[in-house]
Amino acid sequence: MAITDDVLVIGGGIAGATTALAAAEEGVDVRLVTHKQSTLRNASGLIDVLGYTHEGEGPIVDPFERLEELPKGHPYERVGTEAVRDALSFFDAVAGDAYAGSHTDSNALVPTHGGTVKPTARYPVSTAAGLASDSQDTLLVGFETLTDFDAPLAASHLEAAGAPFSARGVTLQFPGIVRDDAKLTRYAHLLDHEESVSTGSGDRSAREALASIVKPHLEGESRVGLPALLGDEHAAEVRADLAESLGAGVFEVPMGPPSLPGMRLEDLLYDALEDAGVRVTSGVPVVDYETDEAGAIDHVLVDRHGQEIPHEASQYVLATGGLVGKGVRSERDRVFEPIFDCYVPHADDRYDWFVDDVFGEQPYARFGLVPDRELRPLGADEEPEFSNLRAAGAVLGGYDYAAEKSGAGVSLATGYVAGGRAGTEANR
């Protein structure tokens, strides 16, 4: 017997979660299926809309002033500027007070672990005290057991980039952590639960111990930036306690994968899915599909422990990611979408998929499905592949999310539109 829903979303990242939430707003039964653990835990947790133009100009101050300049076929051009605004408002309602930035159209400049700044439209409140537009002098603190963040180097990069404040960096020993293979969640757990750690002056709570080793290094700086590991369940409380002990503002610097801000965002979205009544089935790949007499998707087949289980819906949305997420795949002679074999335009000669300049505009970065304005994937004949299939997020082509700093924004906007329209169609 087939498992039946009104809307079936395939993919569990920002695009998939947003799609499912938007569809659920239409009052229909929604299921989200995802094969692997969400890539959100590898993401920065920042919500970028457009940081640089497709020609590399930037950082952009107001992304909404530049959306109209994007070329035809860009996902933002497909959904329209107002849909981007609506999707951000939708995210704001879901995120609540966990994210900042909704007070302005302008991008914020958030320092990252490499000492660069990322233009972003929404950012975790844990990073808010560290914005590069603020003129407060800053002490960056790294830890010997956390080699991904070189605080002195990051500080020098910030100053070289013209940050309007003085930045210094120091590297210290994190209290209670002696191994360099400890997971970020171990650091967070120590601070969350005020575990007792040994210090030169005896046992102390983790928060007290951390503040005690940082404070002597302050030289008048009014804010302190630390790697994004300051708690998980009680992150706001951890930051507040450290700020009080240090007499300075405390902020987190987003890190590379694995990322606690990314994990927090994942928890936030999946809690919202549960609250919205979306059924989530994880750890199961979609391996095949069958069509009805009219050529629409009748059902997909999900592999559960070697058994193919049919899942049937009125509407389907594909949000499986791009080349990195394997929602788009390549072989020596072709690029393709692996579930429905949707058309992915690309040059016949694979040597035209890239250019020799490592920092040049790489054609493969724009590989993905071509949607119509309903976000239905189009075939080579420019007709919809299936009448009841839409696509959202990085599986779409026509843009370079890494160069533009637009990945999360495109996922939100296209997920919001695809989910809303799929829900509306399922209601008919």
User: According to DSSP H, which parts of 128-202 are helical?
Assistant: 151-160, 184-192
- Going by pLDDT thresholds of 50, 70 and 90, the confidence category of residue 103 is very high
Q: What does the alpha-carbon distance between residue 12 and residue 19 come to, in Å, rounded to a whole number?
A: 10
**What rounded mean pLDDT belongs to the chain?**
93
Question: What's the pLDDT score for residue 76?
Answer: 97
- How far apart, in Å, are the Cα atoms of 390 and each of 146, 289, 376, 414? 42, 15, 4, 10
Above 90 in pLDDT, residue 40? no
Per-residue confidence (pLDDT) for residue 356, from 0 to 100: 76
What contacts 355, CB < 8 A, 6 or more positions away?
361, 362, 363
> Amino acid identity of 350?
R
Q: How confident is the model at residue 54 (pLDDT cuts 50, 70, 90)?
A: confident
Q: Which residues, other chains included, contact 253 with Cβ-Cβ below 8 Å and sequence gap of 6+? A: 111, 112, 113, 127, 130, 140, 149, 154, 225, 226, 227, 228
Predicted local confidence at residue 291, as pLDDT: 97
Has residue 361 got a pLDDT over 80? no
pLDDT at position 234 is 94
Q: What is the pLDDT of residue 139?
A: 98
Token pair listed for 136: 């407060």
Contacts for 352 with CB less than 8 Å, ≥ 6 apart: 363
| Residue corresponding to tokens 């040597």 | 351
More confident residue, 20 or 353: 20
pLDDT of res. 37: 65
Percentage of the chain surpassing pLDDT 70? 99
Angle at 87 between CA 86 and CA 91, to 5 degrees: 120
Residue 43 scores a pLDDT above 90: no
User: Considering only CA atoms, which of 87, 71, 29 is closest in space to residue 312?
Assistant: 29
Structural contact between residues 164 and 133, judged by C-beta atoms closer than 8 angstroms: yes
More confident residue, 356 or 134: 134
Structure confidence at residue 359 as a pLDDT band (50, 70, 90): low
pLDDT of residue 422 exceeding 80: yes
Burial of 209-222, coded b for 16+ CB within 10 Å and e otherwise, reads: bbbbbbeeebeebb
pLDDT band, very low/low/confident/very high, at 366 (cuts 50, 70, 90)? confident
CA gap 18, 14 in Å, rounded: 6
Q: Which of 8-17, 195-204, 226-235, 244-253 has the lowest mean pLDDT?
A: 195-204
**Model confidence band, residue 354 (pLDDT cutoffs 50, 70, 90):** confident
Q: Where is pLDDT greater, at 245 or 349?
A: 245
Buried b (16+ CB within 10 A) or exposed e, 245-261: bbebbbbbbbbeeebbb
Assess whether pLDDT exceeds 80 at residue 1: no
Per-residue pLDDT tens over the stretch 162-214: 889 999 999 999 999 988 888 889 999 999 999 998 877 778 999 999 999 99
Asked whether residue 353 carries a pLDDT value surpassing 90, the answer given is no
Q: Hey, what domains does the chain have and what are their CATH numbers?
A: 3-99+263-427 (3.50.50.60), 113-253 (3.40.50)
